[in-house]
Amino acid sequence: MKQTIPILLILSLLTLFTACDDSFLEENRKKTDSYILDGTLFVYPTPQFTEVTFALADLDVNRFKVSRYKVVQYPRILHFASLHGEIDGSGKLTFDIKVDPFESTVSLEPLELGTIILDIDGFGLLSIPVMHYNPGIPHAELSEQLLDLDSVSIEKEFTLTNQANGYLFYRLAAKPEWIRLSQQSVYEDSFQLDSTRLLYPFSQTSFRIIPDRDQLPAGTHEGEIILETNDPDNPRLLITVKVVVRSFKNPYSMIPLEGKVIDAEFDKLTNCAILITQNPAQLITYQLDRKEKQVVNLERNPSCIQLSSDHQLILVGMNDRIESFQLSTLQRQESFVTGFIVTDITDGENGRYYFSDTNNELYSVERKTAEVINHTAGVWQNRIEGDVLLKLKGKPTLLLSRKTTSPNGVFMVDIADPASPRLLNYWHTGFGARYWTTEDQQLLFSTNDGKVYHTPDETTGEEIRETGKLIPYDSGYEYFYYFSSFDHNKERSVIWGAYASLVSLGRNIVVAFDDSHYNRQRTIILNDYVFNVSGKADYYKTMAHYLFTSSNGSQLLLVKNIDSHDLSTNAWHLELVNITNE
């Protein structure tokens, strides 16, 4: 029994020694490997547990083995369904979390919410950054869906607007190669394909589109600008871009003319235009149906033309001469010596041609005898004046006017006695440098202001009755709309007017009106004309000085010249415009 005491003492000491073992402190000296995941866990408030999966294959976490992990740290707004779990042999880490609601303001910068740290057996500590990203929800809008750069525009602009509280990211996903995009607010900027830009909430930005026509063949080209955005309602914004590349060649529908066009007429019976030019002195016909141009050189400079009442002859007034030509053959038929420049001429349908000189004096020549009579001489009250003549069809009546006097004055002359014209009436008004009428001559158009009048007759009182006005475009301040010529097409019930634009106005147009209420039906912008100046071809604005429609109203023939500030030259040409279906 005496041995019992030492045994008890030894047992007690062993217990004491066991309790004095400090080896557990060695754990503090062990180094733990730490890794930061090359990625971020972005979270949003969720009331339910949501599965989150990471692929840790790149980290070589105990490859091909199942590893256990423990969560050792996590952001306090997170809740883990379990604070431990497993990573499978392929490195797939999965856990379920839910996220408490938290204040989230729209910001471009991610909100750092902390770090999850996992202690993975046999691997070490793995840190997973946790962030919240709330760029808001933008709303993108474009100012334009179509940008037409036409043939001359250097650039066009469109605006991208973000009308909501969200950052708008937009990527230039596509654009035609022949345009360059430049952001207005960025100096020497070029918005490159596949690049992404940012637009702040409730803001807008503008882009210039600059075409590079040099790399394109002649013709019309169309392409699309596509912006991909983070706007959920408008993930793709599309703008169609058009550009026209000129060939610096006039199309076949433009027929160049030599010299300066002095006067033009049109015969609707044969669809034939008749022109006279100076320098060179020529008589030109252009047959619309056959697209055939005929030219006859004249011995003297012509000054006016008119068709005979039977539409068989072209009467040409010229310097010191009146000549007539067969419309169909352009063979000269008659020649009368006048001794002066004939300013206008008309067929009196009484065996005489009536004509005027530069002194506004009225003459006639008897076709059989070639006798020329001056009808202006007489007492001044009955003096007949004019260098503009209009023979009213089926009536022994002439209307005279003065080109360069204001007002032009309207003289009504009775030619029932062919050799002794008699002044019937005079109205102190005018309709411009030429009488333009409807086909039936019932209405007169004024080139001064576009007004339409009833053609005066013997019953017309002191005032020539106005019936309407042709207004070529809407304007808040203009009242006088100058025209250079008119054409009435009875078949289509259309009145065409060639607007006499000032260059500065830039309204190089011809306009169609209905002949009942004079409403504007259609406007055609005149094509530019390629003209060679000092060896360099360029496009020039044009203006129509005469216009004619074919008898069926399907074609429009324009007699044009270039219309330029700095270029005063003769580049006269015809242009044929098909107006069938428009």
User: Interface with other proteins by CB under 8 A: which residues?
Assistant: 1, 4-5, 8-9, 12, 15-16, 19-20, 22, 24-29, 32, 70-76, 83-84, 113-115
Q: Provide the 3-class DSSP secondary structure of residue 147.
A: strand
CB 35 to other proteins: min, Å: 16
Taking the CB of residue 142, how many other CB atoms lie within 10 A of it?
Answer: 16
What DSSP assignment string belongs to 486-520?
EEEETTTTEEEEEE---GGGT--EEEEEETTT--E
* Residue pair 403/433 in contact by the 8 Å Cβ criterion: yes
Secondary structure (3-state) at 15: helix
Note whether 298 and 282 are within 8 A (CB): yes
Q: Which residues pair with 139 in a beta bridge?
A: none
Determine phi and psi for 353, rounding to 5 degrees: -100, 130
CB of residue 25 to other proteins, shortest distance in Å: 3
Q: What are phi and psi of 24, to 5 degrees?
A: -65, -20
Distance CA 581, CA 577 (A): 11
DSSP H helices, 248-384, are none
Q: What element of type H or E holds 548?
A: strand 542-549
Using CA atoms, how far residue 318 sits from 300, 313, 398, 449, in Å, is 6, 16, 21, 30
Based on CB atoms, which residue is closest to other proteins, 127 or 429? Answer: 127
Please, what is the minimum distance in Å from the beta carbon of residue 53 to other proteins? 21
Structure tokens at 309: 């009442």
CB of 34 to other proteins, least distance (A): 12
Closest to other proteins by CB, 72 vs 218, is 72
Would you call 46 helix, strand, or coil by DSSP? Answer: strand
Which amino acid appears at position 252 of this protein?
Answer: Y
**C-beta closer to other proteins: residue 41 or 512:** 41
Taking the least distance from each CB to other proteins, the nearer of 111 and 142 is 111
Burial class (CB in 10 A: 0-12, 13-18, 19+), 169: middle
> In 213-312, where do the E strands start and end?
219-229, 236-245, 254-256, 260-267, 272-278, 282-287, 292-297, 302-307
Nearer to other proteins, 74 or 286 (CB): 74
* Closer of 31 and 517 to other proteins (Cβ): 31
Whichever of 5 and 379 has its CB closer to other proteins, that residue is 5
Distance CA 471, CA 452 (A): 11
Q: Which is nearer to other proteins, 19 or 154 (CB)?
A: 19
DSSP assignment, residue 537? E
How many CA atoms does the CB half-sphere of 102 hold within 13 Å? 19
CB atoms within 10 A of CB 524: 18
Residue 200 to residues 162, 167, 203, 232, 408, Cα–Cα distance (Å): 7, 5, 6, 16, 66
Nearer to other proteins, 110 or 259 (CB): 110
Q: Which is nearer to other proteins, 117 or 296 (CB)?
A: 117
DSSP secondary structure, 457-475, as one string: -TT--SSPPEEEE--SS--
CA–CA gap between residue 171 and residue 229 (Å, rounded): 6
CB of 147 to other proteins, least distance (A): 51
Angle of CA points 439, 488, 576, to nearest 5°: 125
Nearer to other proteins, 1 or 154 (CB): 1
- What is the smallest separation between the CB atom of 21 and other proteins, expressed in angstroms? 9
* Nearer CB in complex with other proteins: 4/580: 4
